[in-house]
Amino acid sequence: MKERQNRLNKIKELIQIHHIDSQEMLLELLMKEGFHVTQATLSRDLKMLKVGKISDGWSGYYYALPDNDLISESEKSYIQDVRRGVLSIEFSGNIGVIKTRQGHADSVALALDVLSLPEILGSVAGDDTIFVILREEMTKEDLIHSFRKRIPEIEA
């Protein structure tokens, strides 16, 4: 997990310092910094960081990090759905069971998808229960840390 966080921090730093217009360029810069990753991993990292391309005003586009205020505004309603709906979270291996209030599982599962927590590979929602599958390299502690970081009021 530390290696991934270090890589994410380096990606943010490189995007802030350089005018990066392609994943290939970013991969080369990461390699020079000692991070050897695949294009697929880089794509997931960019999605998790909510990196987008913006116009340079002339002839092309380059990567930019989102404005944190805009992210928090767009995520507020989803965070509220999680806060309102989640009752408990338990794990067995890499499978988590999230108990929700009756009828809230769908909205909580959608919120988790939108929040793009990197630990979650996928989820299946019923009426009051969500099954969450963690990525192979992730642990329940990683997911709970993400929950508490993004949704501090949640009792995970």
CATH of the domain at 59: 1.10.10.10
150 with 156: CB under 8 angstroms? no
* CATH code for the domain in which residue 131 is found: 3.30.1360.40
Q: Are 89 and 111 in a shared domain?
A: yes
Q: Kindly report, residue by residue over 61-95, the tens digit of the pLDDT.
A: 888 887 764 555 557 778 888 888 999 999 998 99
Which of 81, 2, 79, 14 has its CA nearest to residue 42? Answer: 14
In this structure, are 60 and 83 located in the same domain? no
* pLDDT tens for each residue of 5-22: 889 889 988 998 888 989
Number of other CB atoms surrounding residue 139 within 10 Å: 14
Rounded CA gap, 67 and 50, in Å? 10
- Domain count for the chain, please give it: 2
Residues 47 and 118 in one domain: no
Task: Convert the pLDDT of each residue in 87-140 to its tens digit.
Answer: 999 999 899 999 999 999 999 998 888 888 888 989 999 999 999 999 888 888
For residue 100, what are the domain limits?
A: 68-150
Q: Helix H segments across 33-67? A: 39-48
The answer on 146 and 72 residing in a single domain is yes
Sheet hosting strand 95-100, strand order edge to edge: 86-92, 95-100, 129-134, 120-125
In a domain, 155, yes or no: no
Whole-prediction pTM value?
0.55
